Amino acid sequence: MNFINIILGIILIILIIIFIGLFLGLRISLNLNKKGMNITGFIHIILFEKIAIIKKEFPDENKEESEEVEEVENTEESLKENYNKIKPVIPDIKQTLPYFYNFLKKSLKSIEINKFYFHIDFGFSSYTETAKLVGYFWSFAVIPNTLIKSCSLSACPIFTNPTLDFDADINIKIKVINMIPPLIQLITKKEFINLLKGIRVMNKNEG
């Protein structure tokens, strides 16, 4: 599967979950660790503290061996290709950050964050490209790290070999009816609309 489509799919799922949570309230528990091609952990999304909407364990013990994900032959080439695809929308993402900050600040009362830990190890063989992309991550991470005491977003540049590993431990409860006004404010901003347009153009060019 294409990396960009996977990311966009994840974003769409998160937005749908948030939409449901606006009215019903959800608890999201996620603990994932990726090293190389190995992923361990779980994802639980619980409605009303009882009803499991998603309950996924990794690795999937019921998965047949023939269905296992094949290892990417050239990690660095794949990472560079995906980075180049995202590059055109990076300026729009940077312009949207102040509005995302405002959205996050106004939404904090609607989200009970018990733990939000995410660490990524990332690297190209190119020192410059590695430093640039990790710098973008650090620029974004400072917003939630500053606003939320229980939040820890971090990244470690890897200059020795192409790498994309992560470790995540997240436990949050969304009671987010109050998130509707700031969410509307965010998605109606010109900068955010330009970002969506940029992503749309990127997908069209890819297709």
Q: Which residue, among 62, 153, 144, 49, has the nearest Cα to 102 in the 3D structure?
A: 144
In this prediction, residue 7 carries a pLDDT of 57
Q: Are 59 and 82 in contact (CB under 8 A)?
A: no
Averaged pLDDT, 10-21:
63
In this prediction, residue 4 carries a pLDDT of 57
The total of other beta-carbon atoms located within 10 Å of residue 84's CB is 10
In this prediction, residue 63 carries a pLDDT of 53
In this prediction, residue 72 carries a pLDDT of 42
The total of other beta-carbon atoms located within 10 Å of residue 151's CB is 19
Comparison of pLDDT for 65 and 177, the residue scoring more: 177
Q: Which residue, among 95, 102, 96, 97, has the nearest Cα to 179 in the 3D structure?
A: 102
Q: Are 121 and 79 in contact (CB under 8 A)?
A: no
Mean pLDDT of the chain: 79
In this prediction, residue 121 carries a pLDDT of 93
Sign of CA dihedral 16, 21, 90, 99: positive
Q: Which residue, among 38, 170, 182, has the nearest Cα to 115 in the 3D structure?
A: 170
26-35 and 51-58 beta bridge pairing: unpaired
Which has the minimum average pLDDT: 4-13, 78-87, 128-137, 187-196? 4-13
75 confidence band (pLDDT: 50, 70, 90):
low
Degrees (nearest 5) of the Cα angle 96, 91, 109? 20
CA 151/CA 133 separation, integer angstroms = 21
Q: Which residue, among 116, 181, 189, has the nearest Cα to 150 in the 3D structure?
A: 116
Averaged pLDDT, 77-88:
74
pLDDT at 10 over 90: no
56 confidence band (pLDDT: 50, 70, 90):
confident
In this prediction, residue 128 carries a pLDDT of 87
Ramachandran class of 36: left when φ > 0, alpha when ψ lies in -120 to 50, beta otherwise: left
Q: Which residue, among 130, 107, 126, 100, has the nearest Cα to 191 in the 3D structure?
A: 100
Residue where the block lists tokens 């470690």: 156
- Give every strand in the sheet of 163-174, ordered side by side: 51-58, 38-47, 26-35, 163-174, 111-123, 151-157
38-47 and 163-174 beta bridge pairing: unpaired
In this prediction, residue 40 carries a pLDDT of 93
